[in-house]
Amino acid sequence: MKKNFKVKELETFEDFRIPKTKRIFDILFSSIALLIVSPVLLITALLIKIESKGPIIFKSDRVGTGYDIFCFYKFRSMYIGSENKRAELSKLNQYLINEHNKSEEKLDTDICPECERLGYPCSPILFIDGNQICENFYLYKKRLHSTKTTFFKIKNDPRVTKIGKIIRITNIDELPQLINVLKGDMSIVGNRPLPLYEAEMLTSDQWALRFLAPAGITGLWQVNLGGKNIISGEARKTLDNKYTLDKSFWKDILIIIKTIPVMFRRGNI
């Protein structure tokens, strides 16, 4: 496997290994699961082939544990060429919409909560458009105004095929990742492997911690949706870090159990 990203303390990432108990469980679980769902795999492959031109399996480079890049498998749920339309559909990104709504709630005032708590300015006072605002709160509001967000997902994505909608809602499109687990690229439970453009935005010391956990099919943020299909990018990254710090075999089992009802919330995994 190759590495394309440079981060501090890279040797820490290189030293990381999936615990033997977890690896044995992954092999057994994925092998049994593949046998059980093999009829579903065959029917899905046939339907995808009948509906639209293109490969049955969608392959893409993903960044997993220790910034390792591997070939990630999913059933193809979009029309060919859909990846090229990502930029023109960026305004429909649900993570971006959530961040915008969050900023609207917090940007209607120039009064810094920290200044109010302290009773004096927490940072130098700036004069912006005739109003006074402390520097810390000004920079905070400026960050909220940013149109950048790490993750990308569209509700009612027009690029998705009819069969694609069905296999996404039922999470059948994720089943080929069991092969990634058998190969050792991923684990059943971990932090989701990211496309290159998302991983490139998570190389800071604060967020690189997530890559010290195995890449997984399901994980902590998926079972902490609270009934929502999209959580904020900030919350998702925080939960990824939390999993890295608190992961254990029995917590993985609990996440797998919690994943079962989540799978029926219209394709959350």
Q: Profile the chain (269 residues) by mean pLDDT over runs of 10 residues.
A: 45 66 95 96 96 91 90 91 54 49 52 78 76 75 55 65 90 95 95 86 73 92 66 76 90 92 63
What was the pLDDT predicted at 104?
47
Facing residues of 187 across strands? Answer: 216
DSSP letter, residue 247: -
Tell me which residue of 74, 65, 14, 12 sits closest to 247, measured CA to CA: 65
What was the pLDDT predicted at 105?
47
What was the pLDDT predicted at 201?
74
What was the pLDDT predicted at 1?
46
Facing residues of 125 across strands? Answer: 134
Q: Determine the Cα–Cα distance for residues 91 and 88; give it in Å rounded to an integer.
A: 8
What was the pLDDT predicted at 58?
92
**13: exposed, middle or buried (C-beta count within 10 Å: 0-12, 13-18, 19+)?**
middle
What was the pLDDT predicted at 16?
67
For the chain, the residue count is 269
What was the pLDDT predicted at 222?
85
What was the pLDDT predicted at 159?
78
What was the pLDDT predicted at 203?
67
114-152: per-residue pLDDT in tens? 778 778 887 788 777 667 887 777 776 665 555 455 454
